[in-house]
């Protein structure tokens, strides 16, 4: 029998009467119960590697709001850590990693097959979630896309324009390519293990796709996504994959046409009318409310949500934000949003 859960229907290409809705970073610091569990766990990474508490924070927004999907609680930077880099999250400053900026650094990375030694607790979280989630709520697994993961491995922290990664791409293309390929292999192994543990949908976060120079977009955003999607679907032909080449601009059309994903998540800058006309005839579109409206609330929020629902009403759509919900957002505004979408 066909899976009739709203999210799965939209991902199969059905136009649903109301769109399924979930929010990027729906488990996060805007929720008091998240902050309490996080304090109990210790550091953010302690939380990621604690299957019971990671399960708890994944379930919190499902219990409170009844979203149409849960997303595994973890981080895209666990993969570089599993490849041998040191990782910590400095409070209020974001991630800090040891770096890969030369062939010698690259040679010290572990092989892709070694990642499971570190990532076992994440697979355990997926298994616990499948046991504890209500059957009507699909579980989304995820990973960072190779380019975005590489930007952090090369710079050692977040940067506004990914200049360190672009520099390595130009200066030492051999090492850069080898790094992209290693991350791609590790990502395939990681996502296959998530699916084996019970993830039902996969999302690939290419949060910094917009920083890739245009001539390199195909090689470093589309090709790795193609490789990952085809490796996953070779083993799981019905597995839906959501691609998120954030900031890709004109690159969204090529990504949607060639990456082999079943849905494309669009960022806040994309005009819904353009996406409905250009992307939605081919695949499901996810997005793209401005996360700022979750801080603001009121009429701008309900009107913004209504316009997005209307723009995408003619095809398969998953309602989401254009990027993650921020720590200063108010939980009450999530209630307002859900009423605006579901009536």
Ligand X SMILES: Cc1c2[nH]c(c1CCC(=O)O)Cc1[nH]c(c(CCC(=O)O)c1C)Cc1[nH]c(c(CCC(=O)O)c1C)Cc1[nH]c(c(C)c1CCC(=O)O)C2
Binding of ligand X by 111 (CB under 6 A): no
Binding of ligand X by 28 (CB under 6 A): yes
Q: Which of 49, 123, 205, 252 binds ligand X (CB under 6 A)?
A: 205
Burial class (CB in 10 A: 0-12, 13-18, 19+), 114: middle
Task: Please state the closest distance from residue 110 (CB atom) to ligand X, in A.
Answer: 20
CB atoms within 10 A of CB 77: 23
Asked if residue 25 belongs to a known ligand binding site, the reply is yes
Q: Which of 99, 194, 207, 280 binds ligand X (CB under 6 A)?
A: 207
DSSP 287-335: EEE-TTHHHH-HHHHHHHHHHHHHHTTTS-EEEEESSPPPTT--HHHHH
Task: Please state the closest distance from residue 58 (CB atom) to ligand X, in A.
Answer: 8
Residue 194: left (phi > 0), alpha (psi -120 to 50), or beta?
alpha
Q: Which of 84, 158, 260, 331 binds ligand X (CB under 6 A)?
A: 158
- In what side-by-side order are the strands of the sheet with 263-265? 70-71, 139-144, 201-206, 241-245, 263-265, 284-289, 317-321
Give which of 210, 104, 109 is closest to 165, Cα–Cα.
210
Binding of ligand X by 44 (CB under 6 A): yes
Q: For residues 126 and 136, what is the distance between their CA atoms, to the nearest angstrom?
A: 16
Residues near ligand X (CB under 6 A), total: 21
Task: Please state the closest distance from residue 76 (CB atom) to ligand X, in A.
Answer: 4
Taking a C-beta distance cutoff of 8 angstroms, is the pair 196, 127 a contact? no
Which 8-state DSSP code applies to residue 21? B
- Phi first, then psi: give them for residue 86, nearest 5 degrees: -80, 140
Q: Which of 11, 24, 226, 309 binds ligand X (CB under 6 A)?
A: 24
Write out the binding residues for ligand X, residues 78-97 only, by CB under 6 A: 94-95
Active site amino acids: 25, 29, 38, 75, 152
Binding of ligand X by 9 (CB under 6 A): no
Binding of ligand X by 319 (CB under 6 A): no
Taking a C-beta distance cutoff of 8 angstroms, is the pair 241, 202 a contact? yes
Binding of ligand X by 76 (CB under 6 A): yes
Asked if residue 269 belongs to a known ligand binding site, the reply is no
Q: Which of 73, 176, 220, 312 binds ligand X (CB under 6 A)?
A: 73
Provide the annotated binding site for substrate.
25-29, 75, 152, 207, 323
| Binding site residues, ligand X, CB under 6 A | 24-29, 38, 44, 71, 73, 75-77, 94-95, 142, 144, 158, 205, 207, 324
């Amino acid at each position: 029998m066909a899976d009739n859960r709203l999210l799965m229907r939209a991902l199969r290409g059905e136009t649903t009467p109301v769109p399924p809705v979930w929010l990027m970073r729906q488990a996060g610091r805007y929720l008091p119960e998240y902050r309490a569990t996080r304090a109990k766990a210790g550091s953010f990474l302690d939380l990621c590697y604690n299957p019971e508490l990671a399960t708890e924070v994944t379930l919190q927004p499902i219990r409170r709001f009844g979203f149409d999907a849960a997303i595994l609680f973890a981080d895209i930077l666990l993969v570089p850590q599993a490849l041998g880099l040191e990782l910590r999250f400095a409070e209020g400053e974001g991630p800090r990693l040891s770096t890969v900026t030369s062939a010698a650094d690259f040679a010290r990375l572990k092989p892709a097959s070694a990642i499971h030694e570190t990532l076992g607790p994440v697979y355990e979280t997926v298994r616990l979630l499948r046991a504890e989630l209500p059957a009507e709520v699909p579980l989304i697994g995820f990973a960072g896309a190779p380019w975005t993961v590489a930007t952090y491995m090369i710079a050692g922290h977040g940067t506004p324009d990914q200049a360190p990664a672009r520099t390595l791409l130009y200066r030492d293309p051999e090492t850069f390519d080898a790094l992209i390929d290693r991350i791609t292999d590790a990502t395939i192994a990681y996502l296959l293990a998530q699916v084996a543990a019970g993830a039902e949908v996969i999302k690939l976060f290419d949060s910094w796709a917009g920083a890739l120079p245009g001539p390199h977009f195909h090689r470093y955003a589309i090709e790795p996504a193609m490789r990952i999607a085809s490796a996953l679907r070779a083993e799981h032909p019905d597995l839906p994959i959501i691609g998120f080449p954030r900031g890709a601009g004109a690159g969204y059309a090529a990504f949607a046409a060639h990456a082999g994903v079943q849905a494309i998540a669009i960022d806040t800058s994309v005009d819904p009318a353009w996406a409905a006309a250009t992307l939605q005839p081919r695949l499901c579109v996810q997005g793209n409310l401005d996360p700022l409206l979750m801080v603001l609330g009121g009429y701008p929020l309900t009107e913004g949500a209504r316009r997005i629902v209307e723009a995408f009403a003619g095809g398969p759509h998953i309602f989401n934000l254009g990027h993650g919900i921020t720590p200063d957002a108010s939980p009450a505004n999530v209630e307002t949003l859900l009423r605006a979408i579901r009536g």
